[in-house]
């Protein structure tokens, strides 16, 4: 009833203000929160049509496109090796008589088109995403595959039923629902269900029909592409990965961290990384094939699902070197001849659409013994004999310490806190400015830092009251423990969860002498929520009070990066011309790419870095929209297709020390605007426009100056 009243109000508002971009955007935002993403997208687009510079609608449209079509679709479709391998494998099986085909997780329908092209008589394609099914329908029509050739079903394959969705059992399942850890997209459960409910029975001696031309015999049995997979693992040492998973620093001035072990809390068994782009990692032993899966053996798949293969122990000889993670990849055997690999050491690793699965670990042993398990369809690593819950394994592995660290207490905390404490430049500077600010009266401090390092210093030395805004209760518990270990009186240390802070601010009249703000997301953009709250926070600042950082600038650079382009839109020429896919999925491309690290991103610099915007923290609350045009000189010939940007800031206006988010140990990554590719040559001048509104940034190519 309340929602009905709300949307009735919006209908009336649109009748009165049909060309008001804010009304349309707000309606889209409400639809977005209720999960109506396609409808939300439509209103965000209408808002931008009325005012292309309304950045709130721009940001909202980017977010909803990311949800409607996940970015990995572009990377997979641009992997020509993967596409051709699947096409060839499907062609061979159709020629052998496997004509009733189910394409599980069809996406754009590419594999279904391969099957029709090969001569398959009955093709069914399913996907849980309504958006992807709509795209698949458009793609199939554009490629002259009518609905009689391919039936697209908007369901999970596990919800399909014979007679209701498919007339009878099928002879061939094709699927590419693998993630970096092979089973992250529920591949094991999917295939178990397919064998029990959708496929014809497997051939008792299936190897005898792989190369058979006996089509009658082939039609009596079922088969799965891919045939099988092999999982590989190796312990690695990598500072880049380690800095994301535990704190390296033992002490910041008088704050001792040596008696506590902080490690990143994770909800998934593994993280993912593109190791091929990380130059600093080294392997500590030879890779070992830890698991082999036969996707055409229903009984083996069921045994894996029930954990019957979990007792095998794999040992790695590591010569007492520091182990930061276990890297895992796979070889997927599409048929008896064709294999794809996600190995970071393969010659085609640069163009592979899969990253590697990374299991963080903290250990230093001669021989590392592990169980690689996939109980209940989850692939995980087990090191402790009493730890049987796969959900706890990621956190357990990271908490494993060498014998010399047994005295440490262990706390899982947010990634934000880990990366912040590993940014020694920033934490040292916060520690140093105490001597400047601490001379003045600072009775009440509001600290948004992921770890209140400056707040704790004021509390210890000046008995200030500190209000710390943190991300989770685990973060709060860790700060309390560190304060206790450092004999800091916590009676004046107060905590509020980040999600509850605005409500606190609205209901509380406290005045602060110092606000230590946190205005940058770790993904490289501004923390919009904190920027929007600045007017309210300013009202809670005492006369003469300070908010830090006090001044910051936005810097950018022009680059060529093929990797950024292929993860943002379909550029594979086959899928533009031969198979008309690009025109339908590229509707959902976004031009902002977050969470990149220029230190490892493969790219070519085409210009020097340029300051494009300077903002003063005191004046931000009064600013509405800023637009500024500036020129950049091309220093090297190439294809301009991206503008990465980052921030430089001073904690205090009078400070002579600048902190950059574009540094190796920054706790904040960089972001980039993706451009349509354009050839540029030495001496060209490019005009760029930067737009700013309420914590949202956009950089666009204005034009190439004559």
CATH number, position 446: 3.40.50.150
Of the listed ranges 144-148, 478-482, 588-592, the one predicted with least confidence: 144-148
**What local confidence, expressed as pLDDT, does residue 218 receive?**
60
Q: What is the mean pLDDT of residues 400-429?
A: 82
Cβ atoms 540, 546 nearer than 8 A: no
- Domain annotation covers residue 330: no
pLDDT band at 439 (very low <50, low <70, confident <90, very high): low
Within a domain: 626: yes
Same domain, 557 and 692: yes
Neighbours of 463 (CB within 10 A): 11
The conformation of residue 336, written as its DSSP 8-state character, comes to S
Bridge pairing between strands 670-680 and 638-650: antiparallel
Q: pLDDT-derived band of residue 392, with 50, 70 and 90 as boundaries?
A: very low
CA dist., res. 333 & res. 89, Å (int):
10
pLDDT digits (tens, 9 = 90+) for 244-272: 999 999 999 899 999 999 999 988 889 99
Sequence-separated (6 or more) residues with CB below 8 Å from residue 397: 359, 360, 361, 362, 381, 383
CATH of the domain at 32: 1.25.40.10
Query: What is the pLDDT at residue 622?
Result: 62
Burial class (CB in 10 A: 0-12, 13-18, 19+), 427: buried
The verdict on 503 and 622 lying in the same domain is no
Helix (H) / strand (E) element for 264: namely strand 260-264
Q: Which two tokens mark 350?
A: 């640069």
Q: Look at residue 211 in the predicted model and tell me its pLDDT.
A: 52
Contact 445, 517 (CB under 8 A): no
Residue 390 has pLDDT above 80, yes or no: no
Question: Given CA atoms 474, 475, 479, 482 in this order, what sign does their dihedral have?
Answer: positive
Tell which residue, 268, 280, 202, has the closest CA to residue 242: 280
- With 0-12 CB in 10 A as exposed, 13-18 as middle and 19+ as buried, what is 681? exposed
CA distances from 367 to 312, 320, 373, 440, 559 (A): 16, 8, 19, 56, 44
Residues 342, 355: contact at Cβ < 8 Å?
yes
Indicate whether 557 and 697 sit together in one domain. Answer: yes
Instruction: Assess whether pLDDT exceeds 60 at residue 401.
Output: no
In this structure, is residue 392 part of a structural domain?
Answer: no
Interatomic CA distance for residues 246 and 413, integer angstroms: 9
Q: Do 686 and 647 share a structural domain? A: yes
If asked whether residues 556 and 638 sit together in one domain, one would say yes
Same-domain status, 497 and 611: no
Query: Cα–Cα distances in Å, from 395 out to 163, 270, 323, 399, 460?
Result: 45, 10, 16, 6, 32
305 pLDDT more than 50? yes
Check pLDDT > 80 for residue 71: yes
Confidence check: pLDDT of 548 > 90: yes
Is pLDDT at 84 greater than 90 in this prediction? Answer: yes
- Note whether 396 and 384 are within 8 A (CB): yes
Task: Select from 514, 548, 582 the last residue of a domain.
Answer: 548
> Do residues 142 and 99 share a domain?
yes
Q: What's the confidence (pLDDT) of residue 208?
A: 42
**Tokens matching residue 433:** 């400015």
The total number of structural domains in the chain stands at 4
pLDDT 10s digits, 316-335: 988 778 899 999 999 999 99
Burial (CB count <10 Å: 0-12, 13-18, 19+), residue 3 = exposed
DSSP one-letter string for 96-157 = TT--EEEEET-TTTHHHHHHHHHT-SEEEEE-S-HHHHHHHHHHHHHTT--TTTEEEE-S-G
Cα 510 to Cα 84: distance, rounded to the nearest angstrom: 64
Q: How far apart are CA 61 and CA 72, in angstroms?
A: 18
Q: Is 25 inside any structural domain? A: yes
> Which residues are CB-neighbours of 628 under 8 A, at least 6 positions away?
612, 613, 689, 690
Q: How confident is the model at residue 383 (pLDDT cuts 50, 70, 90)?
A: low
The per-residue pLDDT for 704 is 60
Pair of tokens at residue 276: 């091929």
pLDDT digits over 486-509, tens only?
Answer: 999 999 999 999 999 999 998 988
Q: What percent of the chain has pLDDT over 90?
A: 77
d(CA 71, CA 77): 11
Supply the pTM of this predicted model.
Answer: 0.92
Instruction: List the one residue out of 237, 221, 226 whose CA is nearest residue 105.
Output: 226
Residue 463 DSSP code = -
Q: Which of 102-106, 440-444, 511-515, 524-528 has the lowest mean pLDDT?
A: 440-444
Residue 163's SS3 state is coil
pLDDT number for residue 402: 39
Q: Please say whether the beta carbons of 297 and 226 come within 8 A.
A: no
- Please tell me the predicted confidence (pLDDT) of residue 594: 97
Pair 421, 536 in one domain: yes
Query: What value does the mean pLDDT take over residues 675-691?
Result: 96
Angle between helices 298-305 and 187-197 (to 10 degrees): 140
- If you average pLDDT over residues 338-342, what whole number do you get? 98
644-675 residue pLDDT tens: 999 999 999 998 899 999 999 999 999 999 99
CA distance 424 to 339: 45
CB atoms within 10 A of CB 428: 14
User: How far apart are the C-alpha atoms of 614 and 381, rounded to whole Å?
Assistant: 47
Name the average pLDDT for the chain: 91
Mean pLDDT of 398-414: 65
Q: Please identify, among 47, 68, 89, the residue that sits at the C-terminal boundary of a domain.
A: 68
The rounded percent of the chain whose pLDDT value lies above 70 is 93
Q: What's 684's domain CATH number?
A: 2.70.160.11
**CA–CA dist 24, 288 (Å, integer):** 56
Residues 33 and 12 both lie in one domain: yes
Verify that 507 and 646 share a domain, yes or no: no
Q: Among 323, 343, 319, 316, which residue's Cα sits nearest to residue 332? A: 343
Q: Residue 135 domain-assigned? A: yes
Supply the range of the domain harboring residue 636: 551-561+603-701
CB 185 within 8 Å of CB 157: no
Q: What is the rounded CA–CA span in Å between residue 592 and residue 498?
A: 26
- State whether 109 and 145 are in the same domain: yes
pLDDT recorded at residue 705: 52
Q: What is the pLDDT confidence band of residue 397, given thresholds at 50, 70 and 90?
A: low
Long-range CB contacts (< 8 A, 24+ apart) of 30-36? 30/6, 32/60, 32/63, 32/64, 34/3
How confident is residue 706, by pLDDT bands cut at 50, 70 and 90? low
Q: Is residue 123 part of a domain?
A: yes
Distance CA 35, CA 29 (A): 10
Strand partners, 261: 410
Tens-digit pLDDT profile for residues 196-231: 999 999 987 655 444 555 554 566 899 999 999 999
Domain boundary among 225, 250, 285: 225
Cα separations (Å) of 117 from 519, 585, 605? 53, 21, 43
What token pair was written down for 482?
A: 């560190």
- Could you give the maximum distance between any two Cα atoms of the chain, in Å? 90
Residue 74 counted as domain residue: no
pLDDT exceeds cutoff 90 at 408: no
Q: Is residue 445 part of a domain?
A: yes
Q: Are residues 538 and 556 in the same domain?
A: no
Name the CA dihedral angle for 496, 502, 505, 511, rounded to a multiple of 10 degrees: 80
Cβ-based burial of 169 (10 A; exposed 0-12, middle 13-18, buried ≥19): middle
Lowest mean pLDDT among 34-43, 47-56, 362-371: 362-371
DSSP string, 401-434: --GGGTTSEEEEE-HHHHHHHT-HHHHHHHHHTH
At 695 the pLDDT is 93
């Amino acid at each position: 009833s309340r929602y009905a009243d709300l949307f009735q109000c919006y209908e009336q508002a649109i009748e009165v203000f049909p060309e008001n971009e804010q009304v349309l955007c707000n309606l889209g935002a409400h639809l977005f929160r209720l999960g109506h993403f396609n409808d939300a997208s439509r209103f965000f687009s209408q808002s931008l049509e009325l005012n292309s510079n309304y950045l709130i609608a721009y940001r909202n449209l980017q977010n909803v496109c990311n949800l409607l079509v996940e970015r990995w679709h572009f990377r997979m479709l641009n992997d020509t090796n993967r596409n051709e391998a699947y096409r060839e494998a499907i062609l061979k099986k159709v020629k052998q008589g496997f004509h009733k085909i189910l394409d599980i997780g069809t996406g754009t329908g590419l594999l279904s088109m391969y099957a029709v092209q090969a001569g398959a008589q009955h093709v069914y394609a399913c996907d849980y995403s309504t958006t992807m099914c709509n795209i698949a329908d458009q793609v199939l029509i554009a490629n002259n595959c009518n609905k009689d050739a391919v039936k697209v079903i908007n369901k999970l394959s596990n919800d399909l039923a014979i007679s209701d969705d498919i007339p009878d059992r099928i002879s061939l399942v094709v699927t590419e629902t693998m993630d970096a850890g092979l089973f992250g997209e529920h591949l094991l459960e999917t295939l178990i269900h397919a064998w029990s409910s959708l496929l014809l029975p497997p051939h008792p001696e299936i190897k005898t029909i792989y190369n058979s031309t006996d089509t009658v015999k082939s039609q009596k049995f079922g088969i799965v592409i891919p045939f099988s997979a092999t999982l590989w693992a190796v312990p690695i040492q990598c500072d880049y990965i380690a800095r994301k998973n535990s704190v390296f620093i033992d002490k910041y001035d008088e704050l001792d961290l040596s008696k506590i072990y902080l490690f990143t809390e994770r909800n998934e068994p593994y993280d993912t990384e593109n190791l091929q782009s990380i130059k600093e990692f080294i392997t500590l032993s030879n890779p070992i094939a830890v698991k082999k899966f036969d996707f055409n053996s229903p009984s083996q798949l069921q045994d894996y699902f029930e954990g019957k293969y979990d007792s095998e122990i794999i040992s790695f000889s590591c010569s007492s070197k520091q182990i930061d993670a276990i890297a895992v990849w796979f070889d997927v055997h599409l048929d008896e001849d064709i294999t794809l690999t996600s190995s970071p050491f393969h010659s085609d690793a640069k163009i592979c659409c899969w990253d590697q699965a990374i299991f963080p670990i903290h250990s230093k042993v001669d021989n590392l013994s592990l169980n690689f398990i996939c109980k209940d369809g989850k692939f995980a690593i087990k090191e402790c004999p009493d730890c049987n819950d796969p959900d706890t394994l990621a956190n357990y592995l990271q908490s494993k310490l060498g014998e010399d660290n047994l005295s440490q207490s262990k706390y899982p905390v947010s990634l934000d806190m880990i990366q912040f404490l590993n940014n020694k430049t920033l934490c040292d500077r916060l520690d140093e400015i105490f001597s400047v600010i601490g001379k003045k009266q600072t009775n009440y401090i509001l600290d948004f830092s992921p770890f209140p390092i400056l707040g704790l210093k004021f509390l210890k030395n000046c008995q200030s009251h500190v209000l710390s805004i943190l991300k989770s209760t685990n973060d709060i518990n860790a700060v309390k423990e560190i304060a206790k270990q450092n004999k800091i009186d916590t009676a004046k240390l107060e905590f509020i969860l980040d999600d509850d802070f605005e409500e606190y601010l609205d209901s509380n009249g406290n005045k602060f002498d110092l606000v230590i703000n946190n205005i940058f997301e770790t993904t490289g953009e501004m923390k919009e929520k904190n920027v929007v709250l600045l007017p309210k926070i300013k009202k809670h600042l005492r006369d003469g009070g300070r908010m830090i950082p006090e001044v910051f600038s936005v810097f950018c650079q022009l680059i060529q990066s093929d990797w950024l382009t292929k993860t943002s839109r379909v550029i594979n020429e086959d899928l533009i011309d031969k198979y008309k896919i690009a025109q339908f999925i590229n509707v959902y491309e976004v031009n902002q790419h977050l969470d990149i690290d220029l230190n490892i991103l493969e790219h070519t610099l085409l210009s020097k870095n340029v300051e494009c915007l300077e903002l003063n923290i005191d004046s931000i609350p009064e600013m509405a929209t800023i637009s500024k045009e500036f020129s950049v000189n091309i220093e090297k010939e190439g294809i301009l297709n991206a503008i990465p940007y980052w921030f430089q800031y001073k904690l205090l206006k009078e400070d002579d020390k600048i902190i950059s988010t574009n540094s190796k140990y920054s706790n904040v990554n960089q972001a980039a605007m993706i451009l349509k590719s354009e050839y540029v040559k030495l001496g060209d001048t490019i005009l760029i426009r930067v737009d700013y509104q309420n914590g949202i940034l956009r950089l666009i190519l204005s034009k190439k100056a004559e």
